[in-house]
Amino acid sequence: MSLLTSPAEFTIKRPAFVRTSAIRWVFSHVTRHNWIILMVFLGAFGNAALAAMVPVLVGDAFNAMLQPLPDVSVLLPLALLIGGTQVVRGVLQLGRNFGAELLGQRLEAEIRDELYISLLGKSMTFHSLQPVGDTMARATNDVREINLMFNPGMNLVIGSFFFLVMPILAAPRYHPALLITPVLFAIAYFASLARYLQNLQPISDEVRAAFGNMNSHLSESLDGVETVKGAAQENAEVERFVVNAKRVRDAFITQGDTEARFIAFLLYGIAIAGGLTHALFLFREGLLNTGQVIAYFGLLRMLDFPTFTSTWAYTQVSMGLASARRILELLNRKTDLDQNTAGHTGEMKGEIEFKNINFAYPDGSVVLENISFKVKPGQTVAVVGQTGAGKTSLVRLLNRTYDVTSGQVLVDGIDVREWNLASLRSQISMIEQDIFLFSRSISDNLAFGKPGATQDEVESAAKAAQAHEFIETFEKSYQTVIGERGVTLSGGQRQRLALGRAFLTDPHILILDDSTSAIDSATEDLIQRAISAAAKGRTTFIITHRLSQIRWADLILVLRKGRIAAMGTHDELMQTSDAYSRIFQE
Ligand code: DCP
Ligand code: MG
């Protein structure tokens, strides 16, 4: 059995990115695209430099015209120069925008992959504690926010930064004192920006968290829409949703409020007025001429770009970082599962031993207590007990869906934690209590654990599972696509598909959880035959309430409130165990 052919969580390679802080993590993604960054910076710098050419050249033109004998012939070359620089500027601007967009899209795709791989690699402990809707919000919207952080966010931040720098570079050309206004503006701008971003951070975090919360509620009520409708609870659900939606709205309003308080516009007004006054003062002293005053004023007007973009471009960056923190938090959350790639990988014989195990769910009380038993290879074990007794929990310890709290589960004499996880799981097949079918074709669903299976293999597995007949009744037979969550199939049909799945993977240990509870007796007979065939030659666990299936088990475990109340064969137990015989009297 090849382990490498199965695309299971634990065989997927993890990309190595720095995951110590959100900024470093994003940075470690960005630095994989150095040439794009170079393109953005060159484009942004060139764009600003050529934009500064306009007021400078216009000032020159004024001076030429204000001569006692104006020389009109200089106007045409100046006009052509202005035109030419602006064409080149357009190209550079395109480069900057294109680069930023490319970077944003690439990062979005990369981070989405990274997150998906990580999510698949996480343990059930993680998944049972993490709401699906919240994960979905992070995997879609938050990842999207990182894209937007680069374009338009960083694109405009970098672009406007050079617009801030140009007046500082060009002003001394006319008079060194003219540096005062753009330099003071820059200092005030960054100081107020730092405060603004500080205020904004908790608000951005709240916006993203409120959104995730709304999403997880939405996905839950859609998931459970049948229950909601069945209990006529639509109104209550809507009310609950409105509360969540309000929280999102309030968070956005607070954000808008904070944005509105950002004083960049005030600074800009002061800079323009102060700078012009200063220049006119120098003009009166004879230190500047008219053309220079005009050019300087034009340069100061370049500050409007950083002013106008500042509020929302930095908000976008702030939102992007908030999202990055949320994604990173998910990536870094402990998986609680050691995949043990260096562990034991041999072919399984199917001998099982539970040695004094205790088990509790991560946030719950003790579910299984002091359980010990042994199973020889090829034997069939029936697990019986009332609902909530811990039957499902018990078998979940075998394939390490969860790990024991204390004690040991041994397969072939080796602790399951010592096994290579991929090897362990690929040799154990579990048919869950709630059978999950993907919205793919029946054929794909059957071959889920063995993607390369041929049509013949799929069909013979379906036949062995007594599923072939009903599949044939569908118009497209094996190519029928199953509706969302398998709603187009009945309980019994799903169980037989799940059995077919198990046949295909040909496991050494097979676990059937409540596999025939919802079935009429004719179908039960079919399934009974399928299970008998499936159990042949492998160690099998059956969790069921049906006497017909329990009877021929080699070992019967009677669970009661997480403890073994009795164990043995049917005949033994009928004589010795009250707990056992009581189950059949219910
Ligand atoms: N439990 C829990 N967290 C989970 C699953 C179960 O806290 N993720 C609790 C609920 C029960 C106990 O564990 O009190 C045992 O649950 P099982 O699912 O193991 O019970 P059974 O499979 O025996 O019950 P059923 O026959 O209803 O399937
Ligand atoms: Mg159960």
For 361-411, write each residue's pLDDT tens digit. Answer: 877 789 999 999 999 999 999 998 888 889 999 999 998 888 899 999 999
- Confirm or reject: Cβ of 390 under 6 Å from ligand 1: yes
d(CA 289, CA 280): 9
Output the residue whose Cα is nearest ligand 1's atom 10. Answer: 388
129 lines ligand 1 (CB under 6 A): no
Three-state SS annotation for 443-505: HHHHHHHCCCCCHHHHHHHHHHCCCHHHHHCCCCHHHCECCHHHCCCCHHHHHHHHHHHHHHH
Ligand 1 close to Cβ of residue 362 (< 6 A): no
**What's the Rg (C-alpha) of the chain?**
35
Query: How far is the C-alpha of 424 from the C-alpha of 403, rounded, in Å?
Result: 13
**pLDDT for the residue numbered 484:** 54
Give the dihedral of Cα atoms 371, 376, 378, 380; nearest 10 deg.
Answer: -40
Laid out side by side, the sheet with 509-513 consists of 428-431, 509-513, 539-543, 380-385, 555-560, 563-568
What local confidence, expressed as pLDDT, does residue 122 receive?
84
Q: What is the pLDDT of residues 197-223, one digit of tens each?
A: 899 999 999 999 999 899 888 888 888
Say how far apart CA 102 and CA 95 lie, in whole Å: 10
How do beta strands 380-385 and 555-560 pair? parallel
Task: Please enumerate in sequence order all residues whose Cβ is within 8 A of that of 363, keeping only pairs 6 or more positions apart, or say none.
Answer: 129
Dihedral of CA atoms 252, 258, 260, 263 in degrees, nearest 10, equals -160
CA angle 74, 78, 81 (to 5 degrees): 145
The residue nearest atom 11 of ligand 1, judged by CA position, is 388
pLDDT of residue 2: 36
Question: What pLDDT is attached to residue 505?
Answer: 85
Q: The pTM is what?
A: 0.76
DSSP state of 344: B
In whole angstroms, what is the distance from residue 412 CA to residue 377 CA? 9
Count of residues making up the chain: 586
Determine the straight-line distance between the first and last CA of the chain, rounded to whole angstroms: 44
pLDDT digits 0-9 by tens, 99-125:
999 999 999 999 999 999 888 888 877
Least confident interval from 32-46, 113-127, 162-176, 311-325: 113-127
HSE-CB of 550 using CA atoms within 13 angstroms: 26
Tell whether the model's pLDDT for residue 503 goes beyond 50.
yes
Per-residue tokens: 395: 């078998």
CB distance 384 to ligand 1 below 6 Å = no
Residue ranges of the domains in the chain?
22-212+241-332, 352-585
Residue in the block written with tokens 């509105």: 260
Asked whether 389 lines ligand 1 (CB < 6 A), one says yes
Quick one: what percent of the chain has pLDDT higher than 70?
A: 94
> In this predicted structure, what is the pLDDT of residue 134?
87
Q: 395 and 511 in contact (C-beta within 8 Å)?
A: yes
pLDDT tens digits, one per residue of 44-86: 999 999 999 999 999 999 998 888 888 888 889 999 999 999 9
pLDDT at residue 576 greater than cutoff 80: yes
Six-digit token string for 451? 């993607």
Query: Which range (142-146, 260-264, 538-542) has the least confidence?
Result: 260-264
CA 389 to ligand 1: nearest atom: 23
> Which amino acid is located at 81 in the chain?
L
> What span, in angstroms and rounded, lies between the C-alpha atoms of 515 and 505?
18
Judge contact between 83 and 128, C-beta under 8 A.
Answer: no
Q: Give buried/exposed letters for 65-98 (b at 16+ CB in 10 A, else e).
A: eeeeeeeeeeeeeeeeebeebeeebeebbebbbb
CA dihedral 413, 414, 416, 421 (to 10 degrees): -130
Query: Which ligand is nearest the CA of 545, by number?
Result: 1
What superfamily does domain 352-585 belong to in CATH?
Answer: P-loop containing nucleotide triphosphate hydrolases (3.40.50.300)
Best residue for ligand 1 mutational test, from 126, 369, 392, 511 (most atoms within 8 Å of Cβ): 392
pLDDT for residue 486: 53
Tell me the C-alpha distance between 393 and 397, whole Å. 7
DSSP code at position 545: S
Buried b (16+ CB within 10 A) or exposed e, 363-389: eeeebbbebeeebeebbbbbbbbbeeb
Give the count of beta carbons closer than 10 Å to the beta carbon of residue 20.
10
Ligand 1 atom nearest the C-alpha of 385 is: 23
Distance, CA of 162 to CA of 305 (rounded, Å): 10
Rounded distance from Cα 492 to ligand 1 centre (Å): 22
Q: Cα(549) to centroid of ligand 2, in Å?
A: 16
Tokens 């820059």 — which residue? Answer: 186
CA distance 106 to 162: 25
Measure the CA–CA gap between 121 and 412, rounded to whole angstroms: 26
Is 357 strand, coil or helix?
strand
Q: Which two tokens stand for residue 434?
A: 């709630």
Q: 317: CA distance to ligand 1 center in Å?
A: 45
Does the domain made of 22-212+241-332 have the CATH classification 3.40.50.10320?
no
Q: Is 391 in the pocket of ligand 1 (CB under 6 A)?
A: yes
What's residue 7's pLDDT? 35
Q: Indicate the pLDDT class of residue 4, thresholds 50, 70 and 90.
A: very low
- Tokens found for residue 97: 């925008």
> Cα separation of 133 and 468, whole Å?
36
Residue 128 neighbours by CB under 8 Å, 6+ apart = 361, 362
Cα→Cα distances 576→369, 540, 569, Å: 22, 24, 10
Residue by residue, DSSP assigns 210-233 as HHHHHHHHHHHHHHTHHHHHHTT-
Measured in Å, residue 402 CA sits from the centre of ligand 1 at 13
